[in-house]
Amino acid sequence: MPEVEVLPVCRHHGIGVVPYSPIARGVLSGKYLPGGKPKPGSRAARKDRRMMQTEYRPESLDIAQEILEYSSARGIEPVHFAVNWVLANSAITSVIVGAPHFVSDEIISGGIQTYLDPRGRGFC
């Protein structure tokens, strides 16, 4: 698990880390729901192999649903939550957001301006 094994080493040695896909290929945007059917043409609908093995697993969708509920209750966009959660880690230098259907600058700036309470920072 990078959060436990790799990031502390990078932090210790002053190595910058720039992760990609902080919204987990759209899963953390609220676009995919547990038990729901993905929209036609989406990566999940196309059964993208990497996505099916990682972000689109039932347990990932369950966590994404919890994040969506947490965010919605606080008036936070789930994509802002996701970016803020990644950037809150002191080992992270920056983040790459490749969101084709969103404005990436808005996602990053919204993520930076979002405040996460201890419960929000505790999601993992």
pLDDT single digits (tens) 53-110? 889 999 999 999 999 999 999 998 888 888 888 888 888 988 887 756 555 666 666 6
- What are the tens digits of pLDDT across the range 97-116? 775 655 566 666 666 677 77
The domain locations on the chain are 17-121
On whether the CB atoms of residues 89 and 7 are closer than 8 A, the answer is: yes
Q: How far apart are CA 11 and CA 25, in angstroms?
A: 26
Average pLDDT over residues 4-27: 90
On whether the CB atoms of residues 112 and 87 are closer than 8 A, the answer is: yes
Q: How far apart are CA 89 and CA 60, in angstroms?
A: 20
Whole-number pLDDT of residue 89: 86
Q: Any residues with CB less than 8 A from the CB of 101 and at least 6 apart, and which?
A: 26
Whole-number pLDDT of residue 65: 94
Q: What percentage of the chain's residues is helix, strand, coil (to nearest 5)?
A: 50, 5, 45
Whole-number pLDDT of residue 58: 92
pLDDT surpasses 80 at 17: yes
CB burial of 86-102 (b: ≥16 within 10 Å; e: otherwise) equals bbeeebbeebebebeeb
Whole-number pLDDT of residue 73: 92
Whole-number pLDDT of residue 10: 93
